Amino acid sequence: MSYKESFLSYLQYEKRYSVHTILSYDCDLKQFFDFISRDKELVAIEDIGFRDVRKWIVFLMNEGKTSRTVNRKLSSLKSFFKYLLRNSVISLNPMDRVVGPKQAKKLPGFVAEHAMQVLREIDFGEGFEGARDQLIVEMFYQTGMRLSELMNLTDHSFDRGASLVKVLGKRNKERIIPVNKSLEKLLDDYLELRNNTFGKGDGFLFVTNKGIPAYEKLLYRIVTKHLSKITTLSKRSPHVLRHTFATHLLNNGAELNAVKELLGHSSLAATQIYTHTTFERLNTIYKQAHPRA
């Protein structure tokens, strides 16, 4: 077994990464070693130095790859060489002296609070589909769930006595999110219509109008359709509602650490991007209200 195959097995069986993530690592490593082999034939793994990695960065940038893409590929290399160092395959990590290209932080788009209030008054339609669509949009906004997390909810995900929903996030990490009475009411209305239409089952919470489990494109389409009624944002996706959830919490005084836990972020770094958005709001208020501004 090659070092690369051993590393990928480690990701699969010990780190329990998804198939998609492992394929991404495999592709990045293959691209790197294909590039190295152009200059050096049969290069030994311990002979690879930081200059080789820097040459690859230059090559990728010249190929038109974005800073974001290059840094993601470097992240794959860092994990690989860290694995080799830990297993005494190499004595020096070539990635220690490598710095990736800087990338501009893209602020997440979000829907204004007044627009989300308008959404509550919109007619989602009668019957099962209307109740389902409204619950989906409100679930995204009131919990900040990812698309994949909401798609995999079951009836048993909810603890009605404690007003909580249990979510299985990235890397099978479980987290608990509170739900309020208004969301529980929408849930009850939807379940009654769903069960009367398709019968009570133990499968997924959300189903199509044919009674089969809802799929990603359907959920995306539902959110896009209804957000189009209240916002001119170019992107109107479930992830925008996740951004909206986080931004509105911070705007109304929530602590950053609490928002981090609700979103299921592994570190504060991922959550801190929302502070840029809320700072813009504070800056606007300051300029409007302070006599010296």
290 is a catalytic site residue: no
Site of tokens 């398709």: 198
d(CA 233, CA 236): 6
86 is a catalytic site residue: no
Write down the catalytic residue from 65, 82, 170, 175.
170
Write down the catalytic residue from 132, 146, 236, 260.
146
Write down the catalytic residue from 17, 25, 83, 274.
274
Write down the catalytic residue from 73, 242, 248, 260.
242
* HEC sequence for the chain: CCHHHHHHHHHHHCCCCCHHHHHHHHHHHHHHHHHHHHHCCCCCHHHCCHHHHHHHHHHHHHCCCCHHHHHHHHHHHHHHHHHHHHCCCCCCCHHHHCCCCCCCCCCCCCCCHHHHHHHHHCCCCCHHHHHHHHHHHHHHHHHCCCHHHHHCCEHHHEECCCCEEEEECHHHCEEEEECCHHHHHHHHHHHHHHHHHHCCCCCECCECCCCCECCHHHHHHHHHHHHCCCCCCCCCCHHHHHHHHHHHHHHCCCCHHHHHHHHCCCCHHHHCHHHHHHHHHHHHHHHHHCCCC
242 is a catalytic site residue: yes
Q: 32, 86 in Cβ contact below 8 A? A: no
146 is a catalytic site residue: yes
132 is a catalytic site residue: no
β-sheet bridge partners, residue 164: 159, 178
170 is a catalytic site residue: yes
Encoded tokens for 4: 């690369």
d(CA 268, CA 257): 7
Which residues does the annotation mark as catalytic?
A: 146, 170, 239, 242, 265, 274
